[in-house]
Structure 1
């Protein structure tokens, strides 16, 4: 099988490319870097999502195209990369590939849903990144519905692994280890994360399994735990007592509101949100339709992170 990947030098893309190379597939990936290839077995194609000639080269003869490239942080580039770039790639791939697999995000349902989320939950993007991913997904849905190729949109929750660029989980582990962590509210919060190996496994299923129906299929991929159990796993892994202090949520939110005045203040509204979620993302659809099962449990993944935390 011939596989093409955008975002191949990113966190998930690197793992995805290694997976396909290890099973003997031919892999090419789009990159803006002229440095040495990330894996000598893969073929780098240097260029950007704005370059039609390069995109034509990327998709030529491809069986499966994984679109993993996205801008997360630079507000001046989010729409250009995530929406216009996706449109350019769709134009290049239309009628030339067998299947498009889009790496999206559960962020399209909103940053703090009030109820459990499944694929039928209305989208409710809030920030520029979430809006751009929702718009890009809609473009993919449109092209697939018009018969240009089969398509799957995979929406993972927070993706983690020992080589992840986001350090928030490592920071949480450090807080637990130093005895600085405390619970907020009544203790009924949940955490929603998914190990990068599970995401790669799900992406590969999206690329290779027969799909139910025509057009575009959407799947959520996530794992979850009660926050208290999650913290207990971390505490056990770093050999410290489990935190037991609980503080009222209104008080903590008031304190966190002052964080914007102090750049290094560790408590911010977004962090309070993350520690008070009460929803989880349902994965029954990908399990029943594609046979997905977690390759790495959340307990195993968090124990692995704790061993690598500095």
Structure 2
């Protein structure tokens, strides 16, 4: 069985490539640079130099030899590249795979790494209790979330006897090698004694360890029960669990101060003209959130549940 990984140089993609290599699969990794390297306990994967945004690239030449495609590609920073990469390149690749699969009379399986961002933020109140299931109507906000959701729709609509798919939507993915600094910034506030809770005491943290995401992606790639399915993946916990774990790891007292949400939002509004003022609306929304992502579908259908305890592993990010 031959596999192709798109986005194999990213935080999740690299972990996926390493895990697949340990299982002795034949892996090709699409990359814009052939200087990439991967730490594996097996043969190094083959690197294919390719820019998916190249208008001259012939997608049919790429796709003919693969049985499973893992799409972990994503543009996190440059909004002008998000639609071309997430939507246009996905459409071209899917169309090419379908043509080749039909010509070769075989099935190709596509595993899409998506995000719970497809469901959008909580409205009208950020602190309202909410349970998000796979059936929840998508309502993405922001160019990244919108374009990734459009890619999901392209993949869903493409399904036929020659093309199958699985879509995985994890929440906030964390791990020691993550490039996103949100957890490190949170830890810095705790270390300086500047962190305080906002609003109600039952706020929820939505995290899932990168190794759990990789395990779920592999299940989606090879378990026939995952075909044609969308799965949410999150290891939700009380916000205090994350805060206390970080504080104890840093050797500082656990924060106990809590302010009224309306008061904090008023202060944030007054100082919103200051670019460096840390209390932005988006940050407050995140700290008061009580959204849960229901993972009962992947638990019941694939018998999969995140096994990395957030309390014990969140500290790896700041070591």
Which band: TM-score by shorter chain? over 0.9
Residue 120 (1) aligns with residue 135 (2): yes
Q: 2:93 aligns with which of 89, 94, 118?
A: 89
Residue 225 (1) aligns with residue 237 (2): yes
Aligned residue for 2:131, secondary structure, equals coil
Q: Distance in 2 between matches of 1:260 and 1:158?
A: 26
Q: CA deviation at 1:159?
A: 0.6
Cα–Cα, structure 1 residues 280 and 76, in superposed 2: closer, same or farther, change >3 Å? same
Deviations 1:68-108 (A, max 9, x none): 11122212111111110110110121153521000000001
Q: 2:165 aligns with which of 151, 155, 158?
A: 151
Residue 75 (1) aligns with residue 90 (2): no
Residue 103 (1) aligns with residue 106 (2): no
Q: How does 1:212-291 map to 2 (within 5 A)?
A: 216-257=228-269, 260-291=272-303
Aligned to 2:155: 140
Q: Distance in 1 between matches of 2:238 and 2:18?
A: 32
Aligned residue for 1:119, secondary structure, equals coil
Aligned to 1:21: 21
Deviations 1:208-257 (A, max 9, x none): 11226x6x210001111111222122222222211111111122122333
Q: TM-score, normalised by structure 2?
A: 0.90
Unaligned runs of 5+ in 1: none
Cα–Cα, structure 1 residues 260 and 56, in superposed 2: closer, same or farther, change >3 Å? farther
Aligned residue for 2:236, secondary structure, equals strand
Q: Distance in 2 between matches of 1:219 and 1:89?
A: 22
Cα–Cα, structure 1 residues 147 and 257, in superposed 2: closer, same or farther, change >3 Å? farther
Q: CA deviation at 1:111?
A: 2.4
Q: Distance in 1 between matches of 2:267 and 2:81?
A: 33
Q: Distance in 2 between matches of 1:54 and 1:260?
A: 48
Q: CA deviation at 1:37?
A: 3.6
RMSD: 1.9
Query: Runs in 1 of length 4+ with deviation above 4 angstroms?
Result: 51-54
Aligned residue for 1:252, secondary structure, equals helix
Does the aligned pair in 2 maintain the 1:90–1:140 contact within 8 Å? yes
Q: Distance in 1 between matches of 2:80 and 2:6?
A: 20
Aligned to 1:42: 45
Cα–Cα, structure 1 residues 254 and 33, in superposed 2: closer, same or farther, change >3 Å? farther
Q: Distance in 2 between matches of 1:246 and 1:289?
A: 40
Residue 11 (1) aligns with residue 15 (2): no
Tell which deviates more after alignment, 73-82 or 196-205: 73-82
Q: TM-score, normalised by structure 1?
A: 0.92
Does the aligned pair in 2 maintain the 1:99–1:207 contact within 8 Å? yes
Unaligned runs of 5+ in 2: 102-106
Aligned residue for 2:75, secondary structure, equals coil
Q: How does 1:156-171 map to 2 (within 5 A)?
A: 156-171=170-185
